[in-house]
Amino acid sequence: MEVLLEAKNVKKHFPIRKGLLSRVVANVKAVDDVSLTVHRGETLGLVGESGCGKSTLGRTMIRLYEPTAGEIRFNGRDFTTLKGGELRRARKNIQMIFQDPYASLDPRMTVGQILRQPFEIHGLLGSAAREAKVLDLLKIVGLKPSHVNRYPHEFSGGQRQRISIARAIALEPEMIICDEPVSALDVSIQAQILNLLKDLQDRLKLTYIFVSHDLSVIEHVCDRIAVMYLGKIVEVATREELFKNPKHPYTQALIAAIPRVGEGKRKIKKSLGGEVPSPINPPSGCYFHPRCPHATEKCRTQTPKLEGSLHEVSCWLY
């Protein structure tokens, strides 16, 4: 399979500054030495709990955040060193959909203006062709031509997410990073948006990075899944493999914590005690060891590496 995007040892640290001279007193290690490949046409899921760095990693991949260290290659080219016009042209190929369609659409622009903007920025098409393209985009995502002159506040959450999707596919990108695209939506609307994303993938041969905290959604849409904990990837495997044979104790706990529908009332047992430690001052050794039921002395002192060929896991148990 052809590799479309490759991240090598990517780090994203946010400095914490204090005092009169704004000296850096600590770093939030939001993404801490992550390597990952995404193949053309697949959907790669990034899953983990709040603060694990999944969204930061997604944003760093398209350089919405500049990586602190590491290399990102897109289509074989180093994406991290591109500047100005070159970066702009390269970004045409990677688009993003955000969680909150209320915040990611400019409230003072009509839908038409929002959808015309990508073409204006990149100087593509004449004005008549742009108008036609905008109407075409609306149709593709299931909105009406009459919606073109309306403002975002006139739409429901699901419809707004459709507008964001139309904007993301406008320039026919090769890859879209979907950052919790259905988390803010009601269940019945979630299904509509997930179906739309799937149809668009088939039709436009898109590659997705799908960021979500919801394992049921991740299982539904993803071909391969990377589980993150405290800025690191702890396990990567295909969907079938990960759910059938989860190896990392954290992945096992996450899967065990998913509520099951239709099995009636049961005695709920927590699958994991404690809370996620601070990424400013992460634990020694394996970051998961303070909450891990299998932790040994080695886990407290030595950091495991992500290893394996098809099913990668970063844990001293294996």
- Nearest distance, CB of residue 155 and another protein, angstroms: 10
Do the Cβ atoms of 15 and 4 come closer than 8 Å?
Answer: no
**168 lies in the binding site for another protein (CB under 8 A):** no
CA angle 228, 231, 236 (to 5 degrees): 30
Residue 233's φ and ψ, nearest 5 degrees, are -85, 125
- Cα–Cα distance measured from residue 179 to residue 145, given in angstroms and rounded to the nearest whole number: 27
> Which DSSP helix (H) or strand (E) runs through 192?
helix 187-204
Residues 217-246 interacting with another protein (rule: CB under 8 A): 217, 219-221, 243
By CB under 8 A, the residues from 31 to 50 that bind another protein are 49-50
Of 5 and 97, nearer to another protein (C-beta) is 97
CB 254 to another protein: min, Å? 6
Binding mask 71-110 for another protein (x = CB under 8 A): ----------------------------------------
- Cα 95 from chain centre: 11
Amino acid code (one letter) for 14: F
- Residue 216 found at the interface with another protein (CB under 8 A): yes
Shortest spacing between CB 101 and another protein, in angstroms: 13
258 contributes a contact to another protein by CB under 8 A = yes
7 versus 315: smaller Cβ distance to another protein? 315
* Number of alpha helices (DSSP H) and beta strands (DSSP E) in the chain: 10, 11
Q: Name the nearest CA neighbour of 172 among 131, 122, 128.
A: 122
Q: Which is nearer to another protein, 80 or 161 (CB)?
A: 161
The full length of the chain comes to 318
Beta carbons within 10 angstroms of residue 285's beta carbon: 19
The residue within the footprint of another protein, chosen from 20, 21, 128, 261 (CB under 8 A), is 261
Minimal distance, residue 221 CB to another protein, in Å: 8
Q: Which region, judged by CB under 8 A, interacts with another protein, from 9-17, 22-30, 119-127, 216-224?
A: 216-224
Kindly tell me which residue out of 9, 81, 127, 195 binds another protein, with binding defined by CB under 8 A. 195
**CB neighbours of 267 closer than 8 A, spacing ≥ 6?**
none
Residue 92 Cβ, how far from another protein at the closest point, in Å? Answer: 29
**Which x/- pattern over 171-190 shows residues binding another protein (rule: CB under 8 A)?**
---------------xxxxx
Residues between 114 and 153 that touch another protein (CB under 8 A): none
- The C-alpha atoms of residue 241 and residue 247 are separated, in whole angstroms, by 10
- Asked if 21 is part of the footprint of another protein (rule: CB under 8 A), the reply reads no
Q: Which two tokens stand for residue 196?
A: 């739309």
Cβ partners under 8 Å of residue 206, min gap 6: 41, 169, 173, 174, 175, 176, 200
Q: How far is CA 112 from CA 95, 178, 275, 310, in A?
A: 18, 22, 45, 45
Binding span for another protein by CB under 8 A among 22-30, 54-62, 79-87, 252-260: 252-260
Q: What number of chain residues touch another protein (CB under 8 A)?
A: 44
- At closest approach, how far in Å is the CB of 123 from another protein? 37
- Which residues lie near another protein (CB under 8 A)? 49-50, 156, 158-159, 186-192, 194-195, 198, 213, 215-217, 219-221, 243, 253-254, 257-273, 275-276
